[in-house]
Each structure stands twice: as C-alpha cells, then as structure tokens.
A and B are shown apart, each in its own frame.
Chain A
Amino acid sequence: MSGPAASKRPRSNGATGWLLSAPALILLAIAATGPLFIVILYSFLEKGDYSGVRWILSGDAWFRVFFEKDIFDGTVSLADANLAIIWRSVKLSLATTIITFGLGLPTAWFIATRPATQRAFWLFLITIPFWTNLLIRTFAIMEVIRNQGLLNTFLLHYGVISEPIQILYTDTAVLIGMAYVYLPLMVLPLFAAIDRFDFKLIEAGYDLYATRIKVLRRVILPIIRPGIVAGCILVFIPSLGAYVTPRVLGGGKNMMIGNFIELQFGQGQNWPLGAALSTMLLIIVLGSLVVYMRVSAREEPHG
C-alpha cells in the first residue's frame, strides 16, 4: 500500500507547488505582459484630439512609422525623418557596443589577472558610477566635453587646438556618453568569463605554434564567448532605448528612438504613433537577439 502512495506524493507536491505559487505567477504575468499588451493595443488605435487615444481600430500609426502623406497633394513617400532616427539609434548602439567591447576587454582582462585579493577592489571601482544618478553622470560628461569644458580648456591651454572643438550636441557626444554609461555592463560579464578562463590554455596555444594574435582569436575569444555575448546584449539593448544621454548630450536635434517616442507622448500628442514606435523598438531588439543567437549557435563546435 505504501508503494503507490509514495510514488504519488511527488506529483501531488508538484501540483501544490504550482497552486501555491499561482498568485505570484499570475501577478508576474500580468505585470510583465499587461503594459506590453496596452502598448501594442494603442498602436492600433486612433490618436485623441490632444492626447490619449480614441477607441477606433486603425493602422494609421503603423503607416506613419514608415511612410508620410503630403498634406497638400496626398502623395505617399517614405518617412525619411523617422527612418533616419531609427537608423541612427541602431548605428549609435552598434558603435557603443563596439567601443565598450574594445575598452572593456582589456579592462576585464586586467582585473581578472590581478591577485585574488585585489580583484574585489578593482571591481568595486568599476561599479562606483552606478551609485550616482544617470542624469548627474551625463551632466558631468557634458562638463568635460562642452566648449568651455575641461577637455577644450586643456587642449587650448597647451596649444593643441586654436579654437574649441564642438563635441557637445553631436553624435560623438552621444557616443562618448553612452560608452561611458554602459562600459561597466560590458566589463562585468567579460570579467566573469575571463575569471573562469584557464590561463594554462594560453601557454598551450603558444606551445602549439600559435602566435599571440592566433591565441587570442582561436583560444581566448571562443572560450570567453558567453561573456562577450552577454556583454554585447547588455550594452546594445539599453543603448537602443537610451533616453537621457542623447537628450542631454545630443541636444534636441540628434534624437534617438527613445527621445522620438517620448516626443509622441508629450508635445507630439500622438500616442498611437509613440506606441507603434515602441513596438518597433521591441521588434528590433528581438530581431537582433535572434540574429545574435543564430550566429553564436552556428559557430559552436559540432560535437
């Protein structure tokens, strides 16, 4: 008699487990998908007179993401302005990812090769910027790169340049800001990967006739790939939706998609367009994730 009872117990335990966690799961499901659902729904509604939406189904917002209709003759053309903003966002985010990887790999390597007792200290230094508000950090960057800022004053003083370089309110400024803000997100996963790396493998590589570059390409990079993928995703995705940095450092004109979305919910008073753009951003992120996973899966060894 004890046999069937014993075999039954785990299953009833599992069911009880699900039942007990149901409230939390339901809450999580609603909290995670609810707002997303509202955004997607709004993107298919008509815009209200001042703000908000009218509950009439319409593809107008999605149409306006890609195309614009001339108000006089009604001809339809591609919405160059919107597409330029989306393209700039993707471009700047890719550039940010590349820059943070270029700076982050040597940094993470440096930390991982310190004696164990010192590593915590260096990691601590990396995380310090997180303690300060993003806005304040961005203003600090502004203070460095503006025309009368630290960098220009220094260069002028030593005669490297004769007049201030205009960095602020350019794409370069946005790039500098984003690279600064997201660098720790690249360093930490890279460090975690390098920390687990067996440095004997480098010697094994050298021993087997590989040059330094080949050891890097054939041994180190493939083995720390999970850290690279994690770092790139952690930098690329928030970069794509960045709001504060392009707003402050890019001025008004160098908008990224995040600023453009905010504009629709504010001055633009076009919530459906904002919602459609947000959904668009989500699609780009999902798309790039899928591409990334495909690529990294293909290069895995077949064994």
Chain B
Amino acid sequence: MSIKVAVAARNVGKIYGAGAAAVNALGDVSIDIQQGEFFTLLGPSGCGKTTLLRCIAGFETPTSGTILLSGRDITHTPPSARPVNTVFQSYALFPHLTVADNVGFGLKMQGKSRSEVASTVARVLDLVKLEAFADRLPAQMSGGQQQRVALARALAPAPEVLLLDEPLSALDLKLRKEMQSELKRLQTETGITFVFVTHDQEEALTMSNRIAVMSAGELLQVGTPRDIYDRPVNRFVADFIGETNFLVGEVDGTAVRIASGERLDVPLNGQTGRVTLAIRPEQIKIGTVPGGLAATVTDATYLGTDTHYALALSDGSALVARVQSRTGDDFAVGDTVGVTVDASAVQVLKE
C-alpha cells in the first residue's frame, strides 16, 4: 500500500481579526488528501471550506497548524511558489489578455520558452475543447466558456493539486451538469489531485472520490460518498446530505423506544440513553396494517418513478417515505399503513 498524500493539513486553525471581534473561521482541522483523488470540501456557506482552500492555495496563512504538500511544509510559502493552481468562483480571467494568453500566463511566469508555452496552450485548449477560441477576449465568451478557460489556465502549468472554489455555482443547471462530468473527465485524464469546494451536496456526491463535510470551522466527517450518505456520523451530516427522517428515542435494552412508544430493533453499537434515528426516505417500506409502525398517510405526491408519502406516527412525529411507483399498491391520504425499515438501514446517532 503506497497511497501518497498530496495535501495534508495538520491542526490548521484560522482566526480573523483579534480580541472581541475575532472570528474563528477554522477550528483545528486535520485532513489527508491523497494523490490523484477528487476530494470535495462540502458544507454550508461560512463553514470554513473556502478558508481551508485558501490556506492550501497560499492566499491565507493559517493562524495555527501546518499545510504539507507532498510532505513539504508550505505553510509560509507564497502562492507564486506553490505548484498549486486555483479555479476561482468568479473565474478571475485577465480581461486584457486573449484566451491563449490567459492560459499561457502561468507557463510564461514560470519562464517556459515561447514554443513550449504555445504547444502546451494548444494542448490544454484542446483538452477543454476551446481550440477555436484562442484569440478571443474573455468578455467575448459565454459563462460556460469562461469557466473552461479558467480551468485550462489552472491546468496548463500542470500543478500537483488543482483547487476549485465553487466553480460551477454561477452556471445554470444544464451547464452545471455538463461541467460536472467534464470536470470528472479532466480529473481522470490528467490524474491531477482535485480539491473541490461546494455547498451543493448532490454535486459532491456525484463527483467525488471522497468528501469532507464541514460545519462552523470543524471537520465533521471524511469518507466516500457512500460512507457519508449511508453512515453519517451525526445529525448535521445526515441532514445536510440528502433527505433524512429523524426519530428521537431512548435505548431500551437491545432496542430503541421511540416517542410513539413502539420499539425498533436497530444496531446499537453500545450506545445508551437518548439517541436519534436517521432513516433515509427510500429505506422506508409501507405496507398494509398490521406490520411495523402504525402511521397515517397525510400527503401523497406522485412524481412519476417515485411517490412521496408524508406519514404521521401515532404520536404525531412526521416521516417522509419515497416509494417506487407501482400500479395497484398506492395509498391515499387518510389511509392507515404499517411502516417497516431494515434494521441495517437505520443510523443511530448520539443525541
């Protein structure tokens, strides 16, 4: 096993301002990003994900801790000396330079020869399918094209790590979907480590090899999309990634007694006291009574492939179930149904 670490953060903290006005943007973040992976920093705005990215890029110096790039300490290295490039949220293309000159800027600054710059620019423009636009100015291009130029510009110097700061947030939905697969393709083709910042959980799930979920300057969970979705470590992660039902209950022997008084057999992992059960809507099965928890259908929404049922348990606590639509076994508002869940599909979270 020789998985090499491309970027490592060791106990990185960042405090803006001082005294009473100090803002703790990053708590004490330690993270290992492996070489060649598509790594996503995911969290709501203000969670510190962009601050961490800017610390890796060199635009911010951490208040504490160190940043390592392939094992070298680069905490105090200026951005111009880091083999790391950034794709900015606003693209930040040089408006006075043509597309080709934008893409060649980094290479020129590295002192590459004129012919080498020209051939690399041509190759990278080809990679992002913008060969025909080399002589345009950024202002003469659409948002999606500018996005590709920004990508090409950051990829051209062949950085060890490519940092992407919410690069797709300015694009419309269709273009965003397109660029998602485009980014994934570029990452696979170039083999460069991508560190991608987003607040869009769906984007994170579809694109990443691994995801780090952040909140309030803290790292909550790092794992593959499946890990994060199926095994969220706490209520925040479960709630942030996808839709989740939460049921509060108390551990009672080997089962959990929920508010409605019913007992559910779930994997407890030695937890005791008050717990929260997280259940994904698609894991809930609905059948006719008796069988499972008794619930009343309060709303049914037919969505083609799926039907969403809003359910109320006997104590009034709400559940959402997503059931694949099949003819014949749909329920109507007011029906009393029996709710069952596979024990393995229930996450027991500490309250």
Cβ contacts under 8 Å, A204 to chain B: 86, 88, 92-94
- A14 contacts chain B at the CB level, 8 A cutoff: no
Asked if B57 and A207 sit within 8 Å, CB to CB, the answer is yes
Contact of B59 among A198, A201, A203, A218 (CB under 8 A): A203
Among A208, A301, A302, residue most surrounded by chain B Cβ atoms (within 10 Å): A208
CB contact under 8 A between A203 and B79, given known A209-B110, A303-B137: yes
Residue-wise, chain A 209-230 has the 8 Å CB interface mask toward B (1 for contact) of: 1110010001100110100000
Whether A301 and B97, one on each chain, are in contact in the complex, defined by CB atoms closer than 8 angstroms, is yes
Contact among A206, A209, A210, A301 for B137, CB-based, below 8 A:
A301
Is there contact, CB below 8 Å, between B96 and A301? yes
B residues in contact with A223, CB < 8 Å: 94-96
Contacts of A205 in B (CB 8 A): 94, 105
Contact B110 A207 (CB under 8 A): no
The interface on chain B, measured as residues whose beta carbon lies within 8 A of the other chain's beta carbons, has a size of: 30
Q: Which residue of B85, B95, B96, B136 is within 8 Å of A207 (Cβ)? A: B85
A301-B97, A303-B136, A303-B137 known; A206 vs B78 contact (CB < 8 Å)? yes
Bound Cα distance A201, B94 (Å) = 7
Contact: B96 with A206, CB < 8 Å?
Answer: no
Count of inter-chain pairs, beta carbons less than 8 A? 74
Given the known interface contacts A203-B59, A301-B101, the answer about A208 and B96 at a Cβ–Cβ threshold of 8 Å is: no
Q: A-facing mask of B72-110, CB < 8 A → 1, else 0?
A: 000000111100111010101111111001000110011
Are A211 and B94 in touch, CB under 8 angstroms?
no
Question: For the complex, is B157 an interface residue (Cβ under 8 Å from A)?
Answer: yes
Asked whether any CB of chain A lies closer than 8 Å to the CB of B153, the reply is yes
Residue A9 CB within 8 A of the other chain:
no
Instruction: Determine whether A200 belongs to the interface, using a CB cutoff of 8 Å to chain B.
Output: yes
Asked whether B92 lies within 8 Å of A200 as measured between CB atoms, the reply is yes
Tell me if B126 is interfacial: C-beta within 8 Å of chain A. no
Q: Which residues of B contact A301 (CB under 8 A)?
A: 96-98, 101, 137
Tell me how far the C-beta of A256 lies from the nearest C-beta in chain B, rounded to whole angstroms.
36
1/0 per residue B127-170: CB within 8 Å of A?
Answer: 00000000111000000000000000110010000000000000
Interface members, chain A 279-303 (any B CB < 8 Å): 301-303
Cross-chain contact of B109 among A200, A203, A210 (Cβ < 8 A): A210
A207-B85, A303-B98, A303-B136 are contacts. A200–B80 as well, Cβ < 8 Å? Answer: no
Q: Which of B57, B79, B84 has the most CB of A within 10 A?
A: B79
Residue with the highest number of chain B CB atoms closer than 10 Å, among A206, A210, A225: A206
Query: What residue of chain B has the Cβ atom nearest to residue A215's Cβ?
Result: B80
The CA of A187 and the CA of B157, in the complex, are separated in Å by 37
Q: How far is the CA of A208 from the CA of B86 in the complex (A)?
A: 8
Q: How far is the CA of A198 from the CA of B96 in the complex (A)?
A: 12
Query: In whole angstroms, how far apart are the Cα atoms of A301 and B58 in the complex?
Result: 30
- Nearest Cβ distance between residue B7 and chain A, in whole angstroms? 15
CB distance A207 to B79 under 8 Å?
yes
Among B95, B96, B109, the residue within 8 A (CB) of A214 is B109
- Are B96 and A211 touching (Cβ within 8 A)? no
* Minimum C-beta distance from A108 to chain B (A): 19
A202 nearest in chain B by CB position: B92
Interface centre among A200, A203, A302, A303 (most CB of B within 10 A): A303
- Nearest chain B residue, comparing its CB with the CB of A214: B109
* Chain B residues in the interface with A (C-beta under 8 A): 57-59, 78-81, 84-86, 88, 90, 92-98, 101, 105-106, 109-110, 135-137, 153-154, 157
Which residues of A come within 8 Å of B, CB atoms?
198, 200-201, 203-211, 214, 218-219, 222-223, 225, 301-303
- Give 27 CB contacts A-B under 8 Å: A200-B90, A200-B92, A201-B92, A203-B88, A203-B92, A204-B86, A204-B88, A204-B93, A205-B94, A205-B105, A206-B59, A206-B79, A207-B84, A208-B80, A208-B153, A209-B80, A209-B81, A209-B106, A209-B110, A210-B80, A210-B109, A223-B96, A301-B96, A301-B97, A301-B101, A301-B137, A303-B98
11 more contacts with CB within 8 A, not counting A208-B153, A301-B137, are: A200-B92, A201-B92, A204-B86, A204-B94, A208-B157, A209-B109, A210-B109, A218-B105, A222-B96, A301-B101, A303-B98
